[in-house]
Amino acid sequence: MCLFVGGDASLPDRCAGIEFDAITPDEKGNTFFFKGAHLWKGFAGPAVLSNESFKELDDIHHIGHVDAAFRMHNKDNLDDHDHIYFFLDDKVFSYYNHTLEDGYPKGIQDDFPGVPTHLDAAVECPQGECMTDSVLFFKGNDVHVYDISTKAVKTKQWSHLPVCTAAFRWLEHYYCFHGNNFTRFHPVSGEVNGTYPKDARNYFMRCPNFGHGAGHKVPKCSETKLDAITTDDAGKTYLFSGPNYMRLDTRRDGLHGFQITRTWKEVTQGVDAVFSYDNKIYLIKGDQIYIYKGAAHYTLIEGYPKTLKEELGIEGTVDAAFVCPNEHIVHIIQDGNRMRDVDLTATPRVINRDVPLPISPIDAALCGADGINLFKGSEYYNYESAMILAMGRIRAIPKPVTSAMIGCED
């Protein structure tokens, strides 16, 4: 394979297999991959000179490369939140909107006391994924965990991990890059689960003769058909279609389809309906319901799956389901145009309202701040509330789904 792109011998080709110096997203969610004096923006496209995007790096320090980089997660301090930090030797550079902050570069110890110089990699770790809002700094087999609030540093040794030349947090997972490979690890324990290393060209860039996974492609909005959609208590919005799902709330850092079994490994045949309630997510397939505890990652509750009759007091298959924010009634759509309500606080759970709907059939449903959206093929119908939907006899005016709603291609 050719080492260069477009015949320009000055540009490296990441599809040839190279070792990155650093990887970081910016405040808009664009991911930058650094190698020497060049970078790549996003998961496709040729290399460009780094100083075309981060001009002062070269003008001030003539660095030619960076040792490490990360995007700060610190919502308690908006002066730092979403800023990009670059490290070279004993210096740190802070950027926002691709502009160097006043007073930079500084010594690493000035901004991050206790963190060593000449780093190999760095990655942010928000509270909930780490114990507190933190940054993981890598040097050799040592990992220096920096608490953003207290500025305390705790050093761990993860000798089971390769030496990371770059580290990257993406969709709440953590990746150590080494050579042209990567290894996924747990940010608190460093534990590695699964078969690693894996070739980065199969996952983090679009390269000829490389690729992976479910073969998921973002559909055109006019061809969209959902199986289910839900927003959990943490604000994560999931769209399900066939064997795949997509996180919609991660739009800033890129939309990507994954197999459902990646997150909910026990759900192997797709889903008919999904809803969220009380920090749990309920996945329905056939007459079975799976309930997972919500956290940084989902865990199946012991004893599940159970039958719908046993858990919710209903029988038959489910077309769609939704729970509105701060409510405890799950609205279950069955038989094409019947909406059956079940009080999730009741014992035993039984149907306490059964009403016809003016629309049939329904593929998926979501309740949020803008009301209830019922999805049917590439269109949706909006109702202000569950009561209006239940009492209404006139079909709402259908509207086409859009990229802004569900991440499809307009």
H helices present in 45-157, as ranges: 55-56, 108-111
Q: Judge whether residue 140 has pLDDT over 60.
A: yes
pLDDT (0 to 100) of residue 6: 40
Q: What is the number of other CB atoms lying within 10 angstroms of the CB of residue 159?
A: 10
- End-to-end CA distance of the chain, in Å? 35
Q: Which amino acid is at 86?
A: F
Q: Judge whether residue 57 has pLDDT over 70.
A: no
How far is Cα 21 from Cα 65, in angstroms, rounded to an integer? 7
Q: Judge whether residue 167 has pLDDT over 50.
A: yes
Phi, psi of 58 (to 5 degrees): -85, -40
pLDDT (0 to 100) of residue 217: 61
pLDDT (0 to 100) of residue 64: 63
Annotated binding site for heme: 212, 256
Q: Judge whether residue 3 has pLDDT over 60.
A: no
Q: Judge whether residue 147 has pLDDT over 50.
A: yes
Q: What is the 8-class DSSP label of residue 57?
A: I
pLDDT (0 to 100) of residue 5: 35
Q: What is the mean pLDDT of residues 140-158?
A: 97
**pLDDT confidence bin for 79, thresholds 50/70/90:** confident
pLDDT (0 to 100) of residue 407: 77
Flag the least confident range among 177-191, 284-298, 310-324, 327-341: 284-298
pLDDT (0 to 100) of residue 207: 85
pLDDT (0 to 100) of residue 9: 53
pLDDT (0 to 100) of residue 1: 27
Q: Which amino acid is at 21?
A: D
List 376's β-bridge partners, or say none. Answer: 379
Q: Judge whether residue 58 has pLDDT over 80.
A: no
pLDDT (0 to 100) of residue 148: 96
Does residue 218 sit in helix, strand or coil?
coil
Tokens 């927003």 correspond to 231
Q: What is the number of other CB atoms lying within 10 angstroms of the CB of residue 236?
A: 16
Q: Judge whether residue 63 has pLDDT over 80.
A: no
CB 53 within 8 A of CB 98: yes
Q: Which tokens go with 78?
A: 């908006």
Q: What is the pTM of this model?
A: 0.71
Q: Which residue has the higher pLDDT, 232 or 21?
A: 21
Q: Judge whether residue 256 has pLDDT over 80.
A: no
Flag the least confident range among 44-58, 66-80, 193-207, 223-237: 44-58
What CATH number should be reported for the domain whose range is 22-202? 2.110.10.10
**Which residues 6+ apart lie within 8 Å of 34 measured at CB?**
20, 21, 22, 23, 50, 65, 66, 69, 166
pLDDT (0 to 100) of residue 404: 81
Rounded to whole angstroms, what are the CA distances from 311 to 225, 290, 376?
A: 28, 10, 27
Quick one: what percent of the chain has pLDDT higher than 90? 67
Q: Judge whether residue 392 has pLDDT over 60.
A: yes
Quick one: what percent of the chain has pLDDT higher than 70? 92
How far is Cα 338 from Cα 315, in angstroms, rounded to an integer? 13
Q: What is the mean pLDDT of the chain?
A: 89
Domains 22-202 and 221-400 share a fold: yes
Tokens 């999805």 correspond to 375
Annotated binding site: 212, 256
pLDDT (0 to 100) of residue 78: 83
How far is Cα 266 from Cα 80, in angstroms, rounded to an integer? 40
Flag the least confident range among 150-159, 204-213, 367-376: 204-213
pLDDT (0 to 100) of residue 255: 66
Q: Which amino acid is at 410?
A: D
Tokens 């983090």 correspond to 204
Flag the least confident range among 40-49, 122-131, 158-167: 40-49
**pLDDT confidence bin for 11, thresholds 50/70/90:** confident
Q: What is the mean pLDDT of residues 81-88?
A: 94
Q: What is the number of other CB atoms lying within 10 angstroms of the CB of residue 183?
A: 19
Q: What is the 8-class DSSP label of residue 61?
A: I
Does residue 388 sit in helix, strand or coil?
helix
- Strand order across the beta sheet in which 228-231 lies: 228-231, 237-241, 244-247, 257-259
Q: Judge whether residue 2 has pLDDT over 50.
A: no
Q: What is the mean pLDDT of residues 273-301?
A: 93
**pLDDT confidence bin for 214, thresholds 50/70/90:** very low
Q: Judge whether residue 375 has pLDDT over 90.
A: yes
Q: Judge whether residue 164 has pLDDT over 80.
A: yes
Give domain 221-400's CATH superfamily.
Hemopexin-like domain (2.110.10.10)
Does residue 386 sit in helix, strand or coil?
helix
Q: Which residue has the higher pLDDT, 250 or 179?
A: 179
Q: What is the number of other CB atoms lying within 10 angstroms of the CB of residue 365?
A: 30
In the chain, where the domains are located: 22-202, 221-400
pLDDT tens per residue across span 238-251: 999 999 998 887 66
Q: What is the mean pLDDT of residues 395-400?
A: 94
Q: Which residue has the higher pLDDT, 408 or 109?
A: 109
